[in-house]
Amino acid sequence: MSIISLITGWPGPSGFGSASTAEDVTQGIDAAGLTAIVTGGASGIGLETVRVLAIRKVHVIIGARNIEAANKARQQLLEENPSAKLDVLKLDLSSIKSTREFAENFLALNLPLNILINNAGVMFCPFQLSEDGIEMQFATNHLGHFLLTNLLVEKMKNTAKNTGIEGRIVNLSSIAHAHTYGDGIRFNKLNDKNGYSDKRAYGQSKLANILHVKELTRRFQEEGVNITANAVHPGLIMTPLMRHSMLLMRLLQAFTFFIWKNVPQGASTTCYVALHPNLKGVSGKYFLDNNEKRPSSYARDGKLAKKLWDFSKDLISSVSKA
């Protein structure tokens, strides 16, 4: 999408653009019978994603760190849409233990799983390590979602096989994936405070989100699995995600107001990729403003995607054994 399309909201090849809302891109879609998990679904674009999926009759499970806030959000959605099917489960993606518990609790519900939206994240954090000793942005934005996906993928495969309905995985990435460290991923210096940049660490984690779906797609196609995996950039939206750099973001917004989106617009690409029939069979792609966009050269590197997969798997294994 060009800067002109971004500013004007003119639609791209999909028929939708930067001005399209989540309700616009799912208009007329009846998703009754589908079950989705949305991580970080208690606020911001995650909450809007939950709201619109529920309108389209999806049974949505909200994964949230703050259960009180999530239950309050659920109640508000039910007041607006009494027929909505919504559940809340505790999930702290920065914690391997919490992520495993969430997956166990979900599987215990004995529900199908058609859609997994890896939405939750943190942004521009000062250097800190998770409870597992992993740099926080990488731990939350990538590693937690990597583990969650691996824990739930067999459920998704079985659901797709038993229903004949394509499963879909959506990773929320960012255009910031292009602003990462010199080697793309700092495999050997992941937890090194020296040289840490909150902006580049965020970019690294968002690059990892795209590489994750690239390797997932390769594996799904190799197995002949009826599941797709894609990454999306929601756009510039003022949400609680920016709490670590709110002053900077508000200053930036004052000078670039014409390219910022509201929350319904910010959730549109996620909902488009998760539900729209035009994307049947489309996998391993990166979407911006409801249209496919070519990501950075690092994000297109299949060898880097495979290396990240193996690194992430080994890292989780080493932490779990500690």
**Span 78-104, mean pLDDT?**
98
* pLDDT, greater one: 39 or 10: 39
- Angle separating helix axes 198-223 and 302-321, nearest 10 degrees: 100
pLDDT in the model for residue 68: 98
**285 pLDDT exceeds 60?**
yes
**32 pLDDT exceeds 50?**
yes
* From 2-6, 52-56, 185-189, 277-281, the region with the lowest mean pLDDT: 2-6
**243 pLDDT exceeds 50?**
no
180 burial level (CB within 10 Å; 0-12, 13-18, 19+): buried
Residue 283 — very low, low, confident or very high, per pLDDT cuts 50/70/90? very high
> Is the Cβ–Cβ distance between 212 and 142 less than 8 Å?
yes
**242 pLDDT exceeds 50?**
no
Residue 254 — very low, low, confident or very high, per pLDDT cuts 50/70/90? very low
pLDDT in the model for residue 1: 47
**291 pLDDT exceeds 60?**
yes
Mean pLDDT, the chain, whole residue set? 92
pLDDT in the model for residue 304: 98
Digit-coded pLDDT (tens) for 152-178: 999 999 999 999 999 999 999 999 999
Q: Which residues lie closer than 8 Å to 318 by C-beta, 6 or more apart?
A: none
**Span 87-107, mean pLDDT?**
98
CA 67 to the chain's CA centroid: 19
Percent of the chain with pLDDT over 70: 90
pLDDT in the model for residue 251: 52
Collapse the DSSP code of 25 into the 3-class scheme (helix H, G, I; strand E, B; otherwise coil) and give the result: helix
Reference 208, options 149, 136, 121, 141; nearest CA is 141
**Span 243-270, mean pLDDT?**
65
**94 pLDDT exceeds 50?**
yes
Phi, psi of 135 (to 5 degrees): -50, 130
pLDDT in the model for residue 10: 80
**Span 93-98, mean pLDDT?**
98
Residue 108: other Cβ atoms inside 10 A: 9
Q: How far is Cα 86 from Cα 83, in angstroms, rounded to an integer?
A: 9
pLDDT in the model for residue 255: 42
pLDDT in the model for residue 268: 98
Which pTM does this prediction carry?
0.92
CA angle 74, 164, 154 (to 5 degrees): 65
As given in the structure block, the two tokens for residue 142 are: 């990538």
How many residues are recorded in the chain?
Answer: 322
Percent of the chain with pLDDT over 90: 88
pLDDT in the model for residue 237: 72
**Span 238-260, mean pLDDT?**
49
> Is the Cβ–Cβ distance between 119 and 171 less than 8 Å?
no
For residue 86, what is the enclosing H or E element? Answer: strand 86-90
Could you give the count of Cα atoms lying within 13 Å of 259 in the half-sphere of its Cβ? 15
**Span 13-22, mean pLDDT?**
96
Residue 322 — very low, low, confident or very high, per pLDDT cuts 50/70/90? low
CA 42 to the chain's CA centroid: 14
Residue in 196, 272, 286, 298 annotated catalytic: 196
**Span 120-142, mean pLDDT?**
97
Three-state SS for 166-202 is CEEEEEECCHHHHCCECCECCHHHCCCCCCCCHHHHH
**3 pLDDT exceeds 80?**
no
Please report, as a single letter, which amino acid is at residue 317: S
As given in the structure block, the two tokens for residue 94 are: 């920065």
pLDDT in the model for residue 189: 96
Residue 196 designated active-site = yes
**Span 222-248, mean pLDDT?**
77
